[in-house]
Amino acid sequence: MKTYDAIVIGSGHNGLTNAAFLAKAGLDVLCVEKNDYIGGASVSRNLHKDWIYSNCSYVCSLLRPEIFRSLELHRHGLQITPYGGSTTFLENGDYYGSYWDAEVSYRERARFSKHDADAYNRYSTDTMRQCRFIRDFLLRTPPDPTSFKPKDIRELILLGRKFMDMGEDRMYETIRFWTMSVAEYLDEYFETDVIKTALSGSGIIGTALGIHSPGTAYVLLHHYMGEVDGNAGAWGFARGGMGAVAKSIAGAFQGYGGELRTDAGVEKIVVKNGKVKGVALTSGEEIDARVVVSNMDVKRTFINCMDESDLDPEFYHRVKNFKSRGSSGKLNIALNGLPTFPALPKGSSLMFSDMHFIDSMERMERAYDDWKDGTWSKDPYVDMLIPTLVDPTMAPPGKHFMSCFVQYCPPQIEGRRWKDEEREAFGKTVIDQIAKHSPDFKSLIEHVEIRTPQDIEDQIGITEGNIFHGELTMDQLLFNRPVPGYAQYRAPVAGLYMCGSSTHPGGGVMAAPGANAAREILFDLNRHNTVPENFGDD
Amino acid sequence: MSVQQVDQGRLQSPFYPRYKALDRLDTWHTWKGYTSADALFDGELEYFAIRNSCAVFDLTPMTKYRITGPDSLDYIDRLVTRDMRKIAAGRVAYAVWCNDQGQVIDDGTIFHLRDGEYRLCSQERHLAWLTAAAIGFNVTIKEETADIAALAVQGPTSYSVMKNLGLKGIENMKPFGLMHFDFQGSEIMVSRTGFTGDLGYELWLEPGKALDLWDALFEAGKLHGITAMGTHALEQARIEAGYLAAYEEFLPADETIRTGRSRSPFELGLDWLVDFKKPNFNGRRALAEEKLNGSTWRLVKLDIEGNKPAHHSYVYAKPRKNKKEIGFITSAAWSPICKQNIALGSVRMPHGKVGDSVWVEVYYQREMHWSKVMAEAKVVDKPFWFPPRRGATPPGPY
Ligand SMILES: Cc1cc2nc3c(=O)[nH]c(=O)nc-3n(C[C@H](O)[C@H](O)[C@H](O)COP(=O)(O)OP(=O)(O)OC[C@H]3O[C@@H](n4cnc5c(N)ncnc54)[C@H](O)[C@@H]3O)c2cc1C
């Protein structure tokens, strides 16, 4: 029977990225995916007539340009189109918008507070400074602070030097920044509730924490450190939906001679004498490989797909305690036409922006309270976009696809599985909230896909449906991600590696974990490195 | 609630209709959200109006704050590095203000309008910071950019124009003085200030009277060569005068992302603005330390050989072999009035002492092809252009 050089479990964008760089180095690589479609959370699905849904992730910004370029993803059909702005609808019938144009945005903020309009510059400078610090480490393997290997020491020195380079005051700022809440952070700059609210959303998206919870300021950064064509902080749409990202990487992978199998779920990672031997599929088939790489989250990898006896107890416990709480749901809606938002002026560019329907910090925190109580937010933070205003390929002409990301939504209701009527009620909550600001919205709805974290877990196997494969808090970042001592993509079993979003630098459609893991694997196999270095920015 | 929408395009200053009427070139840019002309009929001729007759520039988009209240003097004195107690009502002070680290946030002019009432005029916007710095002071800070229209009237015949405008007593106004006058029933403030290094005035008034003032001014200047100008001419004059521009000679400290990209007043040649004899001021501790330990950068005024403007050039210690890069040019121009190749630059200490020679690598393009020369540059002390008329009181008719 054939033995592969490497098997990658899961065709999420990180699994595919990993597989692509391994295949590019000349390895014989097989990628196995349990579903009959690829992409994991970076996926386009045709679930209703001629509509295509980005039914998990919906916007693209974090995808490392170095990887895009190195895998020549444009040759495999990937096109990212930037979009602009954001809108927060106020309860009083007004709205607060932010625009592409800095001056127009300034005027809009000044409409609420001249103080805040001016404060924004310092806020964005300070935030960008933090982004620059962390961005340099996205395509690097975190150093092991306890190791004395020259490579680790070199990386630690680099980390230390970048940190020292900030200067004394900014070092203090940075340490505070990494642990403070997004609400506290925003309070340092702004006085207007709705401006703070609009900015705070990025601190809690995908996170089982509230705006007042420590650590949420960093999460904000995670949403700002992306870029589109060098425009830091910009977000874009993948033409054809987020599945285009996975599809293009798969194209690159297959172009390098890689083999992709769908409908091939892994039941167990097979270990023999402390060394990985291959995988056993749910169908009973066993496939051998010298290296196995898991794109699954760290809990699913070690707790669901391995024998406890193959793992050290301490490691096992750490994995068990890894925080990966589900907190986000999603509605994907097929619309018969474009809904109107009477608060917005006719022809406003804000129609193209991401829209939110919650206008105070108080409401943001209340939304979290519901999640803590084991139910969905009755007044949720929704991040809504209509990609078809930009992308002509996702719905028939004149029709639209609306993507609604919903924070907060629990993985279980009061500790048990969701009932169908609860899922419906969750969907209705979101639709009602939007309809308050768009009277014709409901009448345009043709089809809705409602996804709870439980559905996400059932379908793509992310534990609790946590969008980042584990929370992005300081205790789970850098050399602590996923667990201390195992941040360098190697599992405690020889030949077994991790490449999913549970590893550094975390979730989002970034492709960095997959690429970093490939670099380490190729190093161990003494192969030529195919993974690009970051572009850098002095 | 009616549908709200802020202006989506460039704003128009109250003087816009007059500018537009004179505009032949149709070349505009955005200045703090306002549309602002690069030049109206010929940038060079507009420049020569500054040096030869009288040129008018719309500076309404300048950021303006009104500072009032019982503690206004103490507050401003605490804010800036120079001693504001020496600036009596009716006087104007050029000043810089710093963050806690002694790095320049911005420069600007502070008009002591009346006892305890000030206007601060700056390039950038600072309401959030000005408010934060007001802690413990009984002051009111009001942003009034759009509430005050302003014109600069600059050049040798500007005094004659002011007199023709009927401003009684203007002959006694010294540089950095200000006075209030009646203009058609409303108040106009006139200061002897400007950004050109020449004799000149700035006029400030409510926007409703802007067009009337413009018309009266151009009537008064009819026989004195009065000319409207755009930013191109002003920028040329600004460099000749050796004035700093934000985002050219320095970056506002609170908007720099990279460490070491901001500047202290010492590093901008503004030692004369830092007064350690006055009570505490923002950045004092850091600046005292810098004074003791030395600065990293020095702003230099350079007189460069040849005639090719040294835009964006590197500055070297030596022309060849181990030439050692010591800094870069921040603003450069060929000075038509001095017939000199001039520039401002930022170099590392201890280089760039007055009288030193440094070397500037100048790239220039002729018919598609690029060439470069290594040009010697002398570090000079005084502004490149400083005519006696600038300080004369009363000024002559010229
Ligand atoms: C609702 C939602 C919205 C999001 N929105 C955005 C966004 O707008 N922008 C953004 O950048 N990020 C977003 N994210 C986060 C981002 O999508 C994910 O962090 C990222 O896609 C994870 O990629 P991955 O490759 O690490 O893992 P995944 O995409 O989770 O891939 C894992 C793959 O493994 C497969 N698999 C699981 N178990 C097995 C098994 N036993 N055998 C074989 N295969 C298996 C799964 O089917 C899946 O294909 C969102 C996530 C969600 C869930």
**Domain spanning B4-60+148-241 has what CATH number?**
3.30.1360.120
Q: Is B283 left (phi over 0), alpha (psi -120 to 50) or beta?
A: left
Chain A CB within 8 Å of residue B135 CB = no
- Please state the atom number of ligand 1 nearest to the C-alpha of residue A267: 41
Q: How far is the CA of A295 from the centre of ligand 1 (A)?
A: 9
Mutate to test the pocket of ligand 1, among A376, A454, A460 (most ligand atoms within 8 A of CB): A460
Burial A317-354 (b: 16+ CB within 10 A, else e): ebbeebebbbbbbbbbbbbeebbebebbbeebbbbbbb
- Cα separation, A108 vs A86, in Å, equals 12
- Cα separation, A510 vs A533, in Å, equals 14
- Please state the atom number of ligand 1 nearest to the C-alpha of residue A465: 53
| AA letter at A319 | V
Q: Which pTM was predicted?
A: 0.95
- Cα separation, B22 vs B215, in Å, equals 13
Q: Which two tokens stand for residue A43?
A: 């996926």
**Domain spanning A3-43+60-80+240-323+466-524 has what CATH number?**
3.50.50.60
- Cα separation, A215 vs B266, in Å, equals 39
- Please state the atom number of ligand 1 nearest to the C-alpha of residue A10: 34
- Please state the atom number of ligand 1 nearest to the C-alpha of residue A59: 8
Distance separating the N- and C-terminal Cα atoms of chain A: 51
Question: pLDDT tens across B114-161, in order?
Answer: 999 999 999 999 999 999 999 999 999 999 999 999 999 999 999 999
- Digitized pLDDT (tens) for each residue of chain A, 538 residues in all: 899 999 999 999 999 999 999 999 999 999 999 999 999 999 999 999 999 999 999 999 899 999 999 999 999 999 999 888 999 999 999 999 999 899 999 999 999 999 999 999 999 999 999 988 888 899 999 999 888 899 999 989 988 888 888 888 888 888 889 889 999 999 999 999 999 999 999 999 999 999 999 999 999 988 888 777 777 767 899 999 999 999 999 999 999 999 999 999 999 999 999 999 999 999 999 999 999 999 999 999 999 999 999 999 999 999 999 999 999 999 999 999 999 999 999 999 999 999 999 999 999 999 999 999 999 999 999 999 999 999 999 999 999 999 999 999 999 998 999 999 999 999 999 999 999 999 999 999 999 999 999 999 999 999 999 999 999 998 999 999 999 999 999 999 999 999 999 999 999 999 999 999 999 999 999 999 999 999 877 6
B3, A132: Cβ pair inside 8 Å?
Answer: no
Q: Is A295 in the pocket of ligand 1 (CB under 6 A)?
A: yes
- Cα separation, A382 vs A404, in Å, equals 6
| AA letter at B363 | Y
| Residue A449, SS3 per DSSP | strand
What is the domain partition of chain A in residue ranges?
3-43+60-80+240-323+466-524
Per the CB < 8 A criterion, the answer to whether B149 and B205 are in contact is: yes
**Mutate: best of A113, A118, A188, A353, partner B, most B CBs <10 A:** A118
Q: How many inter-chain contacts (A to B, CB under 8 Å) are there?
A: 73
Closest partner CB to B127 (pick from A114, A128, A170): A114
- Cα separation, A375 vs A378, in Å, equals 9
* Number of CB atoms found within 10 A of residue A231's CB: 13
- Cα separation, A159 vs A444, in Å, equals 52
Q: How far is the CA of A105 from the centre of ligand 1 (A)?
A: 34
Mutate to test the pocket of ligand 1, among A509, A510, A516 (most ligand atoms within 8 A of CB): A509
Question: Within its chain, how far is the Cα of B314 from the centroid?
Answer: 24
β-strands A445-451, A328-335 pairing:
antiparallel
CATH match for B296-380 among 2.40.30.110, 3.40.50.40, 3.40.640.10, 2.60.40.1120: 2.40.30.110
**DSSP secondary structure code for residue B153 in this structure:** E
- Cα separation, A58 vs B377, in Å, equals 56
Q: What are phi and psi of B360, to 5 degrees?
A: -120, 130
Q: Which two tokens stand for residue B15?
A: 């003087």
Mutate to test the pocket of ligand 1, among A21, A56, A270, A287 (most ligand atoms within 8 A of CB): A56
Nearest to A292 by CA among A34, A30, A1, A8: A8
User: Taking each helix axis from N to C terminus, what angle separates A361-372 and A193-204, rounded to the nearest 10 degrees?
Assistant: 30
- Cα separation, B144 vs B150, in Å, equals 12
Closest partner CB to B127 (pick from A118, A128, A170): A118
What residues contact A66, with CB distance under 8 A and at least 6 apart? Answer: A139, A532, A533, A534, A535
Q: Is A496 in the pocket of ligand 1 (CB under 6 A)?
A: no
B4, A169: Cβ pair inside 8 Å?
Answer: no
| AA letter at A195 | I
| AA letter at B352 | G
Per the CB < 8 A criterion, the answer to whether A495 and A292 are in contact is: yes
Q: Is A11 in the pocket of ligand 1 (CB under 6 A)?
A: yes
**DSSP secondary structure code for residue A302 in this structure:** I
| Averaged pLDDT for residues B356-361 | 97
